């Protein structure tokens, strides 16, 4: 369904920025900076929770987390649009890369040292 695809979101955001004359603010540098701000807000939702608590969020916090996650995605989409690359394609390539870097049969059982991408 096209409405929910990343490509459709890309076009919606492009139009959104254009209608507001915000394109001039959306240099890749600025978008990357805005993304760190949203990532920081996302992290802030979890900072005093235990790992266990983070798995069962209360409804208010879950909504905030969803909104911060959405903000990160929106800036990521804008960035990929501005730099003209396909976000899903590079994400799939990165998984291939990680699969070769961390072979499942060697990593199992000694996961700790391999777990940083």
Restricting to residues 39-98, name those near a second copy by CB under 8 A: 39-55, 57, 62, 65-67, 69-74, 76-77, 79-80, 82-83, 85, 87-95, 97-98
Q: Does 22 bind a second copy (CB under 8 A)?
A: yes
Nearest-approach distance from CB 75 to a second copy, in angstroms:
8
Q: Does 99 bind a second copy (CB under 8 A)?
A: yes
Q: Does 102 bind a second copy (CB under 8 A)?
A: yes
Number of residues that bind a second copy (CB under 8 A): 83
Residue 103 C-alpha from the chain's centroid: 25
The single-letter DSSP state of residue 56 is: S
- The rounded distance, in Å, linking the Cα atoms of 84 and 14 is 12
Contact 98, 46 (CB under 8 A): no
Between the CA of residue 26 and those of 30, 31, 44, 61, what are the distances in Å?
Answer: 6, 6, 25, 29
One residue of 2, 11, 25, 60 binding a second copy per CB under 8 A: 25
One residue of 2, 59, 60, 112 binding a second copy per CB under 8 A: 112
One residue of 11, 14, 16, 81 binding a second copy per CB under 8 A: 16
Q: Does 28 bind a second copy (CB under 8 A)?
A: yes
Where residue 56 falls (left for φ over 0; alpha for ψ -120 to 50; beta otherwise) is beta
């Amino acid at each position: 369904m096209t409405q929910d695809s990343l490509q459709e979101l890309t076009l919606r955001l492009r139009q959104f920025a254009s209608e507001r004359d915000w394109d001039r603010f959306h240099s890749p540098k600025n978008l990357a900076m805005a993304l760190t701000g949203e990532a920081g807000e996302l992290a802030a939702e979890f900072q005093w929770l235990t790992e266990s608590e983070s798995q069962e969020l209360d409804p208010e916090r879950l909504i905030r987390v969803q909104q911060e996650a959405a903000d990160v995605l929106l800036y990521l989409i804008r960035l990929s649009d501005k730099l003209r690359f396909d976000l899903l394609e590079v994400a799939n390539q990165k998984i291939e890369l990680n699969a070769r870097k961390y072979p499942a049969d060697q990593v199992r059982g000694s996961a700790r040292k391999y777990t940083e991408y």
